[in-house]
Each structure stands twice: as structure tokens, then as C-alpha cells.
Amino acid sequence: MKYSISGDNLQIANIELKKDEAINAEAGALIYKSGNVTIDVESKGATKAIKRLLTGESLFLTKFTSIEGHGIVGVAGKLPGKIKPFELKANKSIIAQKGSYLASDMEVDMDLTVTKKLGAGLFGGEGFLLQKLTGPGTLLLHAAGDLIEYNLDKGQRLDIDTSHLVAFEETVDYDIRRVGSIKSTVFGSEGLFLAQMTGPGKVILQSMTKAILRPPTQHHGKQSGGIMGSMLGGLRT
């Protein structure tokens, strides 16, 4: 899959297709296509479709195929953010947050994986089910805001706000840890737990989250969000 990425915080993946070449993309990701590219629905079987649904993706994928000559397709995420490409070797996998899949070669397999540790599943922000994407092929993920990548050495640990974790290599150990003392937990506004990532392997983080970008609740024509917004809205009623 030949591609280029354009834009800054509203990026588009511009994908070039040879004759009879096809790709998969998340439903609703299409921005544009050339006239010689057909659109079809791809399920890869009922079991795979249900697994995608469980990991926050649509039930079906969109399949784009160039039926004659050189074709082009443009796809983008549904939130302001960045597109992260991966070149996956055969049987090599990336574990990703729910809803981050954007597009890939037809050969890339999308499955789900269960977090190995109870604490990570209960308090890790993404629940027990994560996406497992396995090569060979090119994979494009989309995440909110800007992205930063760390390559952890064996035994090196990185503690991350759970909602800012995008993806990691399957060699990285994923667990959770409580944030500091009881005092910092109650008054520090950092939540109860952090994702504890231990190398070796690659970890990708996002500067924003879907929750932060979600529009605040409207109350009587004024915007206010969260618990305080609800309280103020009740007082104005």
C-alpha cells in the first residue's frame, strides 16, 4: 500500500492503488476517491465482524478496489488528530486502543486481545478488550491531538494517563498502578490509576482524548460541562 499523509492536526491519508489492488478502511473514513475505485463492504466473516464491534470499530469495514489503472483514495479520522503508520512484518502485532483503526492492506488481520492482568482490565481505561492488528502489511491508526513515540528498553517503565495510551508492541508488558498517595489521588485531578508500560518495545501516546474533544453539555443556551456544569444548570432551572 503506497500512501502519503497530508495536513497537520486534521490529517488525511492519501492512498495510491494499482490496478486490482484493494485496501480496507474503517466505515465512514472516506474523504475522496477517484472514479475508477469501487466501494464495497468487507466483513471477513461474522466472528471477525463481532470482534471489531467489541473493540469499538464498526461492524463492517469498507473495501476500496482500483478496477482499472491508477486509483486514489483519501481517508481520515473522525476527530482532530494524527495518523500513525506501521509497517508490520509477518506475524508481528500492534496492540491498539478501541476505535483507533483507520486503514490497512487487505493482509493485515484485525482481532481482539484480552488484557492479561485483572487490574489493567478493570482500571486501564480501555477495559479488558483491545485491538490486535497483525501483519504482514501497512497499517494506519488515527488518534486525537499530537502523537509521541517511545522505544522502551528491557525493564524500562513508563507510567501513562490511561486515556492517552494509543498503541504498543506486544512485547511491552501492560499493567496499572495507583497514582501516588491518597492525597494526590483525591486532590491531584489525575485520576486513580496510571497505565504502567514496561519494555522492551514501542509505545505510542496521544496528547488529546475523545473525552476532552467531546462538546460540553448545553444548558439554557450556555455551555458548561461535568459535575459543576450540571449543578449550575440545576440552579438556573
Q: What distance, in Å, lies between the first and last C-alpha atoms of the chain?
A: 56
23 touches 63 (CB < 8 A):
yes
Distance CA 111, CA 88 (A): 15
What is the sign of the dihedral through the CA atoms of 132, 122, 43 and 209?
Answer: negative
- The per-residue pLDDT for 51 is 64
Distance CA 65, CA 27 (A): 15
- The per-residue pLDDT for 120 is 43
Say which residue the cell 477517484 belongs to. Answer: 34
Domain boundaries, the chain: 2-215
Distance CA 183, CA 136 (A): 47
- The per-residue pLDDT for 129 is 74
Say which residue the cell 506475524 belongs to. Answer: 91
- The per-residue pLDDT for 63 is 95
Distance CA 165, CA 197 (A): 10
Beta strands in 135-221 (DSSP E): 137-144, 147-152, 157-161, 165-169, 173-178, 193-198, 201-206, 218-219
- The per-residue pLDDT for 227 is 36
- The per-residue pLDDT for 8 is 87
What is the sign of the dihedral through the CA atoms of 51, 54, 56 and 62?
Answer: positive
Per-residue pLDDT of the chain (237 residues), as tens digits, is 999 999 988 899 999 999 999 999 999 999 999 999 999 988 765 666 676 666 666 668 899 999 989 999 999 998 899 999 999 999 999 999 888 899 999 999 988 887 655 444 444 444 457 889 999 999 999 999 999 999 999 999 999 888 899 999 999 998 877 665 555 445 444 556 788 899 999 999 999 887 777 655 544 444 444 433 433 444 443
DSSP SS3 for 108: coil
- The per-residue pLDDT for 223 is 43
Cell output for 60: 463492517
165 touches 194 (CB < 8 A):
no
- The per-residue pLDDT for 136 is 96
**CATH level 2 (architecture), domain 2-215:** 4-Layer Sandwich (3.60)
- The candidate with the shortest Cα–Cα distance to 88, out of 67, 71, 107, is 107
Helix (H) or strand (E) holding 110: strand 109-114
Distance CA 176, CA 154 (A): 18
- The per-residue pLDDT for 152 is 97
- The per-residue pLDDT for 209 is 81
User: Vertex 195, ends 27 and 85: CA angle to 5°?
Assistant: 40
